[in-house]
Every structure is written in C-alpha cells, then in structure tokens.
Amino acid sequence: MTGMYLAAAFSSWAPPTWFTSHGGTNGVASDDVVTGTLVMGGGVVVLSAFAMVGTGKLASMRDHPARVAALWSWLLSFATVVIVGVSIELDETYFGAGDPNATGAAKDAIFTWLHQDVGLLLLPTVILLMLVVERLVARRHHGAIAWSAIAGSSILFLGAVVWVLIKPSLHGPGYVISTIGLITIGIALLATLWWDAIGSRPGARPPLLPTRTPRTPTSPHA
C-alpha cells in the first residue's frame, strides 16, 4: 500500500480504477480498495483480537464492554467509509462525483463531509475513549459508558445512512437521528470525564499498568 502511494506521488502513474461502467464514470479507485482492506479491514481484525484478549470466548465479552464498544465503533467506521463509500463510487452517474447538477448531488455532498468527520475522526476517537475507560475508569462504570457509546454510535450510523442514501434534506430525519446519536456519544464522553477525573477520588482509579509482585531471590544452594 505504501509503495502504491509513493509511486503515485513521485511519478505520473495513477492507481487504476476497478469495476468500471458507463465509460469509466462509475468505478472504485484501486487504492481505496487496498486501503479499505488492509487498513480499515485490518483494524477490524486487530480490535476483534483486543476484544477477546483474556476472555477466551465470545460469550464472556460482556465482561469487557469497553472493548466491545471499541470494536463496534471501528466496525461502524469501516461500514461508513468503505461500504457506503464503495457503493457511491459504483454509482457516480447518480451521485455525481462533485457535479452539483447530478440527481444525487446533495447526497454526495453530505457523504463527503460525513465520512470524514464521522467515519475517520469521530468514531476512531470513540475507540480511543474506550481505551481510556478500559485503563483509567473504575470497572463498575464501564458498562454505562460503553453501552452509551455503542447506542450513540449505532444511532449516529443509522442517521448517516438515512441522510446520505434516503433523505438528504438539511433538517430531515437523517439530521435528527444523527443528532440524537451525537448527543448520546457526548453523554458517554462526559461520563468518562466525570468518573475518571472530576468525580474520582484519590486511589479510586485502577492502575495504568498491572502491578507485579516482586520476586524473592532464592539462594542457589537452597
């Protein structure tokens, strides 16, 4: 993937477009496919492993809700950026690829900023927030924060789908649903700040790194 971008940066070569139709108007840039598979898809694999570390089986993942929330946020980021993005690229005759006169130009314009601000910025930030919860917030609060984040990101994704693919009106149902999702994520953020910093008592936080019991040196003649 790095070689592809270096070649495009220092030469006139451009990544080819795959799955073209309508004279090349529709099609997916091959670098999008590679990035979506290796980076976004690879993140799903890595976070899946993180969610199951120390649990041994999927049924016990409920004991680690912050890890589940991190994995879920990345899955929604993958769905927003890769799956919805590819579906739009495969139908640029409708969405317009920036053409304001295209039938789906309004939907394309909403997706342009939404996949960046939500798919590439907000949802990965939720993942970092869940890592903070996992390491710094008392375990009894993990469920409330994590499930708020899961609910908020799910509602936000639903609103994004409605807004981009169904009803692109400025203050329509997609806008309302997305706003509810953002507010719910904000509640999870405020809860993290409260239980980690503002309302926490000294000594109430779990240690940042696991404590180790020092070994007692033994005599070689024992």
pLDDT in tens, the chain (222 residues): 677 777 777 877 777 777 777 777 787 877 777 777 777 788 888 877 777 765 555 556 677 888 889 989 999 998 988 888 888 888 888 888 778 888 888 898 889 888 889 988 999 999 999 888 888 888 888 889 999 999 999 999 999 999 998 988 888 999 999 999 999 999 988 988 887 665 555 555 555 555 555 566 555 555
Specify whether the CB–CB gap between 134 and 142 falls below 8 A.
Answer: yes
Residue 84's domain comprises 17-198
Residue listed under structure tokens 């930030």: 125
Burial 143-169 (b: 16+ CB within 10 A, else e): ebbbbbbbbbbebbbbbbbbbbbeebe
Domain-located, residue 11? no
Q: Is residue 147 part of a domain?
A: yes
Is residue 67 in some structural domain?
Answer: yes
* Number of independent structural domains in the chain: 1
Q: Could you tell me if residue 211 is inside a domain?
A: no
- 210 lies in some domain: no
Residue 172 tokens, joined: 């329509």
134 within domain boundaries: yes
pTM, two decimals, is: 0.77
Q: Can you give the pLDDT at residue 87?
A: 87
